[in-house]
């Protein structure tokens, strides 16, 4: 149970459930006559991964903008805030 959080709980089948959203973090599958308990993502984990993916895609898009237009980097902001966001993203990177 590597992803167990203190609020998580076991159901009557012995599978781990998320203490926040209540969805399963484990499920039982039968494979070649044997039953195995495998990990799966609850709704909270799916949402967290989607948010992380979106953040990573945004940061990559900002890096791509800098690679495509390096001469624009460091110029005065045109008022739309893109340069400021790009500058901050680059500093964090």
What is the pLDDT confidence band of residue 50, given thresholds at 50, 70 and 90? very high
Tell me the whole-structure pTM to 2 decimals: 0.58
Dist. CA 64–CA 39, nearest whole Å: 35
Answer whether residue 79 shows pLDDT above 60: no
Answer whether residue 88 shows pLDDT above 80: no
Instruction: Please report, rounded to a whole number, the percentage of residues in the chain having pLDDT higher than 70.
Output: 71
The answer to whether the CB of 39 falls within 8 A of the CB of 26 is yes
- Average pLDDT of the residues in 2-13: 78
């Amino acid at each position: 149970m590597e992803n167990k959080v203190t609020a998580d709980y076991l159901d009557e089948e012995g599978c781990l459930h998320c203490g926040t959203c209540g969805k399963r973090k484990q499920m039982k599958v039968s494979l070649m006559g044997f039953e195995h308990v495998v990990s799966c993502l609850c709704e909270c984990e799916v949402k967290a991964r989607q948010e992380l993916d979106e953040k990573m895609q945004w940061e990559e898009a900002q890096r791509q903008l800098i690679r495509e237009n390096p001469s624009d980097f460091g110029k005065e902001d045109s008022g739309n805030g893109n340069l400021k966001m790009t500058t901050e993203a680059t500093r964090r990177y």
